[in-house]
Amino acid sequence: MSNDLTLHQRRRPPTTTELTNIPWLQLLDEAEQSWVKDQIVVGDALTGDMVCRFGRAPTYWFGVVQGLLKMSADNIQGDSFTYAGLSAGGWFGEGTALKREPYRYNVQALRPSVVAGLPIDSFHRLLEQSIGFNRFVMNQLNERLGQFIAAREIDRMTNPDSRVARSLAALFNPVLFPGVGEVLQITQQELAYLVGLSRQRVNVALQRLVAEGWIKVTYGGVRVLNLTALRSHTLDTP
């Protein structure tokens, strides 16, 4: 795969396996599934590739088939604010797609990822024709609101352990990221990028969460044992 090509230039038809990892397809009737499968494209994003760029008009509604992305924005002081990590099975940007307005955030690949895209006109056609798709999008918007409120709370937290715990919990949201399963494939450096801490401090937080019995660190990932505890993290930093 050439690094000289843009993500858009690297687009290709999805494989059968990749299509099965798109959660909303099963909500469509057979006729809708038939035509929409021909509309979907996927791109093999390299680490650092921009999937969405601030100020650009949307041409696709995007989803993560495999990998990990970061949704963020910069303020006028040059500081970066992370809205969300985007893991497997997650589709995002439905609000922007609905309004056809320019992106107010950047979405970047933190590792090699497979990103799916549904053309914006096809997105609107499904909204007009499919009850199942409408329900999915409404549920997404509702969950996304809660996600962004939580992101603001995390950003204001001074307790690093709480920042790590809440950020992990957000990545295990079963509605927004149904493809994650029981183990989230994420490195300590990737988690550090998402929570705005050093890799060393993230390691300390993870060890505390392990000691509490809330998570188990596996090779290249994290298994959550107590999602409720992570979502309401109350440990004091020693």
Q: What is the pLDDT of residues 193-229, one digit of tens each?
A: 888 889 999 999 999 999 999 999 988 789 999 988 8
Question: Residue 69 forms beta bridges with which residues?
Answer: 86, 109
Using the structure block, give the residue that is written with the tokens 């309004």.
99
- Which pLDDT tens digit goes with each residue over 124-142? 999 999 999 999 999 988 8
Sequence ranges of the domains in the chain:
16-153, 158-231
Given CATH 3.40.50.2300, say whether it is the number of domain 16-153: no
What CATH number is given for 158-231 in this structure? 1.10.10.10
Look up the pTM and report it. 0.82
Per DSSP, the residues of 30-63 read: HHHHHHHHTT-EEEEEPTT-EEE-TTPPP-EEEE
- Distance (Å, rounded) from C-alpha 56 to C-alpha 103? 6
Per-residue pLDDT band at 84 (split at 50, 70, 90): confident
The model's confidence at residue 160, banded by pLDDT at 50, 70 and 90, is confident
Q: In the predicted model, is pLDDT for residue 165 greater than 80?
A: yes
